[in-house]
Amino acid sequence: MSEELCKKAVEGLKKRGFESVFVKTAAEAAEIVMKEAESAESVGWGGSESVKALGVRERLAEAGKEIRDHELVMDLFLLSANALTADGRIVNIDGRGNRVAASIAGPKRVVYVIGRNKIVEGGIDEAIARIKREACPPNCRRLGKKTPCAATGKCADCDSPDRICKVTAIFDRKPTGVSALAIVVDEDLGY
């Protein structure tokens, strides 16, 4: 069931101009990432728990890659999606906007690693609802943010200075000039 949904999302991503591939496991995704990194001297990731779950950060450091986190210019930028619609639209919400910015301009190559748990069937509204429900509360807790969702687990559309949902990017198509691959994994990764 989840395999079918992942493959549908891959087809949607391809129609929207992304290179995209389906894999069954995080281990397979990690191998693709390491292959992508072979020709890269500098690599960054957007604070992604999905990328962390692949275990590639340590491998990239061991391989001597220059790590450029929270920067815009690098050879390879790794990130996930906060949500992916079943028809292939990526939705990411940022506080600073640096992750979204780096996925649009700067890096020579952008590689998304997206677990099946990020796929929603209800379109953009459900994608945003998913992010507020599933991603923001744990992210706020992880980052020590003093927001209502960190305290209660529920979004209150807050005015907190610690609010992490300030910039919402919806990718209807791959941005012009960006070289981007989306790996869709039939495992739960990140949140």
> Of 16-24, 55-63, 84-92, 148-156, which segment contacts ligand SF4 by CB under 6 A?
148-156
Q: Give me the least distance between CB of 147 and ligand SF4, in Å please.
A: 4
Instruction: State the alpha helices, DSSP H only, in 44-178.
Output: 49-54, 56-62, 98-104, 123-130, 136-142, 148-152
Here the tokens at position 55 are 């275990």
Tell me the residue type at 154: K
CB 157 to ligand SF4: min, Å:
5
Query: Which H or E run includes 11?
Result: helix 2-15
Distance in Å, CB of 148 to ligand SF4, minimum: 4
Residue 140 near ligand SF4 by CB under 6 A = yes
135: DSSP letter: I
Instruction: Bin 64: left if φ > 0, else alpha if -120 < ψ < 50, else beta.
Output: left
Binding flag, residue 184, ligand SF4 (CB under 6 A): no
Subset of residues 24 to 43 that bind ligand SF4, contact rule: CB under 6 A? none
Q: Among residues 21 and 124, whose Cβ is nearest to ligand SF4?
A: 124
Q: Residue 117 interacts with ligand SF4 (CB under 6 A)?
A: no
Q: Amino acid identity, residue 140? A: C
- What kind and span of H or E run contains 26? helix 26-37
Tokens of 87: 């028809």
155 binds ligand SF4 (CB under 6 A): yes
Residue 127 lies near ligand SF4 (rule: CB under 6 A): no
Smallest distance from ligand SF4 to CB 155, Å: 3
**3-class DSSP assignment, residue 102:** helix
**Binding stretches for ligand SF4 (CB under 6 A):** 132, 136, 140, 147-149, 155-158, 160, 163-165
